[in-house]
């Protein structure tokens, strides 16, 4: 990805009002993408967004750019990222566009694309769009301009799709579920899906105002969800992120169930049902406990680089179906083409109902090793990871852990952060080593 000027691991992302998340860039991006896609006969794109206030500005600018390239745009309004992937496929549109910065704060935003198959664009096409951005903008003749329209039943279509991934002979009747939609794009989707499948649903984080997305709620902050599950004596909780492609769950005791545990439950259930094809792909951040638990089941496990696009690449390479990041991105390629928080959560609920087991019981076959992740914001221009002090701190930690743990230091692909991860068998040792490395990184600012 290093040869890209704009596209990162998950589209183009940044702070609203700062280049490239500006109306003039969005306009040109729409035009450039339209020119690249239209040369293959593309005439229609679907544009969705999350609940950020800046979505209005960016969708208008994108639509004008697409129109100038002769491409029609159909708007869905606030809609989860995986819903746009699904709708792009079902409408036979030639591309899907999502305006979202996923789990980031409201003042960030981003733009990402899906192909006609509902998959992220190939690297070559993203590079073509970047090359087109270097050219002066022009406009097709008036009679060739793209038109704008609205898909009025987008939410209903996606709700039905989500329900179709849940076994028809099962029901959520009798389950009390708290769902936290992060004041994001699933606020009008997830509660309805769960309710229509029979659950008693208590919703929080379902009152978006344009600026409260991911604010002390959702998959990145489950404190409110955990408390509500305990207070309501609910069976479990669901936490989605701002654009609905991640899910973190909470058991009846308020304990977190992350992406590693979710994919373990899904893989084990597939194995039990004789439906498992191949193994599971995790990432460099996946807990060693997942690897060990899958090994005990005889399920192959591979690690990819961090980022759901890399998990997807590895799945395609291996011809496997199940992959996940511990952050809650769960890929179930037998169900859909991209990470989908609602669909992933439903598969865990299938396992619960099928086996008449609690979420806590389903997790009990996997022991998570202590893992500490510290995010260090960096402002300096030079790379802190090249510092002698940081390298020394990492080496000392690795020597102390020996064969009973590991250290992973990496730059975030979406934010100016250095992620420091230390994993081992002793919680206090892991915490101390992570803090020592984080201090060494902070000192470089």
Active site residue ranges: 102
Residue 217 DSSP code: -
Spatial distance between the Cα atoms of 52 and 58, rounded to a whole number of angstroms: 10
Residue 146 DSSP code: P
User: Is residue 234 exposed (0-12), middle (13-18) or buried (19+ Cβ within 10 Å)?
Assistant: buried
Residue in 69, 61, 46 with CA at minimum distance from that of residue 116: 46
User: Residue 361: CB partners within 8 Å, gap ≥ 6?
Assistant: none
As beta bridge partners, residue 280 has 301, 322
Spatial distance between the Cα atoms of 179 and 181, rounded to a whole number of angstroms: 6
| 402-to-69, 223, 391, 428 alpha-carbon distances in Å | 58, 34, 16, 16
Spatial distance between the Cα atoms of 27 and 137, rounded to a whole number of angstroms: 9
User: Residue 123: CB partners within 8 Å, gap ≥ 6?
Assistant: none
Cα torsion 77, 179, 267, 414: sign = positive
Residue 167 DSSP code: -
Cα torsion 335, 124, 16, 306: sign = positive
Residue 328 · residue 404 · CB < 8 Å: no
Spatial distance between the Cα atoms of 354 and 234, rounded to a whole number of angstroms: 19
Residue 372 · residue 408 · CB < 8 Å: no
Cα dihedral: 74, 79, 82, 88 (round 10): -10
As beta bridge partners, residue 77 has 48
Spatial distance between the Cα atoms of 243 and 342, rounded to a whole number of angstroms: 11
DSSP 233-247: T-SEEEEE-TTSSBE
Spatial distance between the Cα atoms of 332 and 316, rounded to a whole number of angstroms: 12
């Amino acid at each position: 990805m290093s040869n890209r000027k704009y596209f990162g691991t998950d589209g183009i992302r940044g702070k609203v009002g700062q280049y490239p998340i500006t109306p003039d860039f969005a306009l040109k991006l729409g035009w450039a993408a339209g020119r690249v896609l239209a040369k293959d006969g593309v005439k229609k794109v679907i544009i969705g967004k999350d609940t950020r206030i800046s979505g209005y500005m960016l969708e208008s600018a994108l639509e004008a750019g697409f129109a100038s390239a002769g491409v029609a745009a159909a708007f869905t309004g606030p809609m989860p990222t995986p819903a746009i992937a699904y709708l792009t496929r079902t409408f036979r549109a030639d591309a899907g566009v999502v305006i979202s910065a996923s789990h980031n704060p409201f003042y960030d935003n981003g733009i990402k694309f899906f192909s006609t198959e509902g998959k992220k664009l190939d690297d070559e096409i993203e590079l073509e769009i970047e090359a087109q951005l270097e050219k002066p903008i022009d406009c097709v003749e008036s009679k060739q301009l793209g038109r704008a329209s609205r898909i009025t039943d987008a939410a209903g279509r996606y709700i039905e799709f989500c329900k179709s991934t849940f076994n028809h002979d099962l029901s959520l009747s009798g389950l009390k579920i708290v769902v936290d939609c992060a004041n994001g794009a699933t606020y009008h989707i997830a509660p309805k899906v769960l309710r229509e499948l029979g659950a008693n649903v208590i919703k929080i984080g379902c009152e978006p105002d344009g600026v409260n997305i991911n604010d002390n709620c959702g998959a990145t902050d489950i404190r409110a969800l955990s408390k509500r599950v305990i207070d309501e004596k609910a069976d479990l909780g669901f936490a989605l992120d701002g654009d609905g492609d991640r899910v973190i769950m909470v058991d009846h005791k308020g304990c977190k169930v992350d992406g590693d545990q979710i994919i373990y439950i899904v893989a084990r259930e597939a194995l039990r049902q004789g439906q498992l094809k191949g193994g599971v792909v995790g990432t460099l951040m996946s807990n060693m406990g997942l690897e060990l638990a899958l090994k005990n089941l005889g399920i192959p496990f591979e690690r990819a680089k961090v980022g759901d696009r890399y998990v997807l690449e590895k799945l395609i390479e291996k011809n496997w179906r199940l992959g996940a990041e511990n952050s809650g991105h769960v890929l179930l390629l037998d169900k859909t083409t991209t990470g989908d928080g609602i669909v992933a959560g439903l598969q865990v609920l299938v396992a619960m109902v099928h086996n008449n087991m609690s979420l806590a019981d389903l997790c009990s076959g996997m022991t998570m090793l202590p893992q500490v992740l510290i995010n260090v914001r960096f402002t300096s221009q030079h790379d802190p990871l090249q510092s002698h002090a940081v390298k020394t701190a990492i080496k000392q930690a690795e020597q102390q852990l020996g064969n009973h743990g590991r250290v992973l230091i990496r730059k975030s692909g979406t934010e100016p952060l250095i992620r420091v991860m230390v994993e081992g068998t002793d919680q206090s040792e892991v915490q101390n080593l992570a803090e020592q490395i984080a201090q060494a990184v902070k000192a470089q600012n």
